[in-house]
Structure formats: structure tokens, C-alpha cells
Chain A
């Protein structure tokens, strides 16, 4: 009986030891090398170089930007009295028409399926603009758009740096230039709440 207990304890200890050794292997999901493996797993080869999940994500996001910012800009042209807001809206319309043409070309060449309607969040932003009173309109409009452009801006930089696909590389350069222009024009309206942007509350 005594001996049996000893064996049981020893076996238990062995099982625990092996389990404990195995645990970190399972839990080190982000150990070095995993990020590269994850990148590779979502990657397909194209004649313009490898196309990763991040590349496709940028393509989709550029398309989505046009889908909600064009109606937003058109609405501002009609609703706002501010010359600076109208000027920003002018840049949004011209810039996103241009980018949309580019992104449709890139997506068609790479075989990436594009959405044709804004996503739920973007529709909610359009709703917020719709329901803003005339007094609030310029502020709501400029801040929602500035916030969205500011969020995508560093993401474009990441893809511009890391992509191995020549079509995506050019798209990222073009998008970087357009988005910086839009950020600058939106800030010129004088309506942007920089504290809220810095705190991430819009």
C-alpha cells in the first residue's frame, strides 16, 4: 500500500512535469517566428509578388473609405455653409474618386473581391451626420471624417513598409498622399477636436 502510494505520487509528478513542460509551448502563441508564420499562412502568390492578409485588408479599407466618404462629402456640399468644409468636401470627392478607380484596378488584377456598400460602422457615421442639427453639422462631419482618416493613416504606413506586392505598394503610396491631404483639409475647417483625437474618443 505504502509502495503503491509512492508510485502514484511519482507518476503524478511525472505527468505534471510533462504537462508543465508542454504548457509554455502551447501558450507561447506570440513567441518569435509565429508572426512570420501567421503572415505566411494567409499569403498567396501573384505575378506582382506575394499578397498577404494585411495587403488585402488595405485594399478593402481603401474601397470602403470611398463608399462612405463620397456620400458624406456630397452631403456637406449641400448642407454646410462653411467654405472650408466645402473645400474639404471637394478634396474628399476628388481624392476618393481617384483612389476608388485605382483600388478597383488593383483588386481586379489581384482577384480580390470588393464590398459595394459601406460597413455598419460607416453607415452609423453617415446616420450621425444625417441627424446632426445645422449648428452641429460641420463639427460632427469634420470630426467623424478626421478620426477615420487618422486611424487608417498609420495602417497605410505599415503596409507600405511591409508589403511584398508591387501593386499594393503603389496603392499604399497613393493612399498615403491622399489621406494626408484629407487630414490636412479637414483640420483646416477649424472644427477638429484634437483632444478627442488624441484620446481616441471619437
Chain B
């Protein structure tokens, strides 16, 4: 009897151990991405006169609006608190760029019937608080530039994905405009000299970022020269290449058309 009690205890311990080690393998590990999946925009694709409007399209509209809601105040604060010329220059770009994008996004959202938030998210509010809490000016500049650069860097590839896949003409133009503005902001934020690229790089990789890819260069070994890729004939061309001066991103574009009284209808066209 004594012996069998001991065996039961051992058996219970063994079963307990096995289930404890099995738990991460069979339950929690496969479900590890559930939280991320839950954050994916939901809802149906709806039809509009400008083409189908998907959850991903609406997500971009809301994110462009949210960007303006926290970056406007952040830009304004930097003009008040920072004496650094390059930080003030970046703040200037943020204020001008997000005022422009916000105007565009409000027009588009009204036409498409998408409800926009009017307050920054809790996360964005936290970033503003971090900036406010910075003690010295040096600390302020670094905190300011890195929080903003990180946020712009995260949305940049997301804008590109929507630009590629959207079937909605209004969202397509918004994504093109946002691409220009965000690349400009990334560039001027980097121009402050405060950006910590290593941290951004470490935060930009996820999942099983594979170490594969083309082989690394071998020190001291010069790869064979690559001939220019050129047209074999001599076609008559007249356009100009897109890249302009390094550090300058063309963001000039005509003002968006205003909404008329009947919201949802463009005035011209």
C-alpha cells in the first residue's frame, strides 16, 4: 500500500512534468502570433465609386490621420524646446508635411465614409510623454528624433504594400503622397545626426530573418566589373530620372481639391 502510494505520487509528478513541458510546444508556441493576428485590421471589403475599399486601405487612412495627431504636437514642441538647427528643420518638415497629409486624409475619409480618430493612441501619447519628460536638451533631441524616426520607419513599408495592392484610386493617391512625405521626414530626421541606426535595425527584423542572401564581399577581392545595363539600340527618350539631390525628397504637389457641400462628391472632374 505504502509502495503503491509512492508510485501514484511519482506517476502524478511524471504526468505533471510531461504536460508542463508539452504545453509550450503544443499550445502556447503555435498560438504565439495570435496577439499579432488580432491586431490585423478586420471588417469587410466594401464597394465605393473609387473601387473596393479593404480593411488594409482603411487601416492606412487611419494611420495617416493618427500620424498627424501626434507628430503635429511633437513638431511644435521641438520648435519650442530645441535649439538645434537640424532638429528645428526636421520639426518644420513634420509640421508642414502632416498638415498637408491630414488635409488629404480628411477629404478622402469623408468621401469614403471612414471614421477618423481625433486623439493620438495611448502608445503615441506615451511617446509624447517621453519627449516631455526629457531633462536636458541633448536628451530631448535624441529622444525626439529616435521616437519619430522609428514610427516613420515602421509605416514606410506598410504604405508601400498598400500602394501596391490597393484597388481604390483615392487610397492609391494617398499612399503615393504619404510615401513622399514619410521618406522626406525619415531623411530630415536622419539629418539631425541623432538617429541610432543599430537600434532601428535590430527592431526592424522579425520572425526568422534568414542569414541567406547574396554572399558577403571578400576583403581585398575586387569583384569583376559589371558593364552598364543600357538599351542596345538608341531609343529617343525625353523623361528625367526620379532621384534628385541626395537628402531632398520632392514633396511638392498641387493642393487637394476641397469637398463641396455634398460630402462625398468631388467638385471638379
Contact: B204 with A162, CB < 8 Å?
Answer: yes
Given contacts A49-B197, A195-B167, contact A181 B214 (CB under 8 A): no
CB distance from A93 to the nearest CB of B (A): 5
> Please, which residue of chain A has its CB at the minimum distance from the CB of B20?
A20
Contact: A42 with B186, CB < 8 Å?
Answer: no
> Please, which residue of chain A has its CB at the minimum distance from the CB of B198?
A164
A131 within 8 A of B: no
Interface size class of chain B, counting residues whose CB lies under 8 Å from the partner chain: 35 or more
Q: For the complex, what is the distance from the CA of A194 to the CA of B171, rounded to whole Å?
A: 13
Cβ-neighbour of B237 out of A94, A157, A198 (below 8 A):
A94
Contact: B229 with A70, CB < 8 Å?
Answer: yes
- Residues of B20-38 contacting chain A, CB below 8 A: 21-22, 24-25, 29
Cβ-neighbour of B200 out of A104, A113, A161 (below 8 A):
A161
A-B contacts counted at CB < 8 A amount to 231
| Chain B contact residues, CB within 8 Å of chain A | 10, 14, 17-18, 21-22, 24-25, 29, 51, 153-154, 156-161, 163-167, 172, 176, 179, 183, 186-187, 190, 197-198, 200-202, 204-219, 221-233, 235, 237-244, 246, 249-250
| Chain A contact residues, CB within 8 Å of chain B | 10, 13, 16-17, 20-21, 23-24, 27-30, 34-36, 38-39, 41-44, 46, 49-54, 56-57, 59-60, 63, 66-67, 70-71, 73-74, 77, 87, 89-91, 93-102, 104, 107-108, 110-114, 116, 150-151, 153-158, 160-164, 169-170, 173-174, 176-178, 180-181, 183-184, 187, 194-195, 197-198
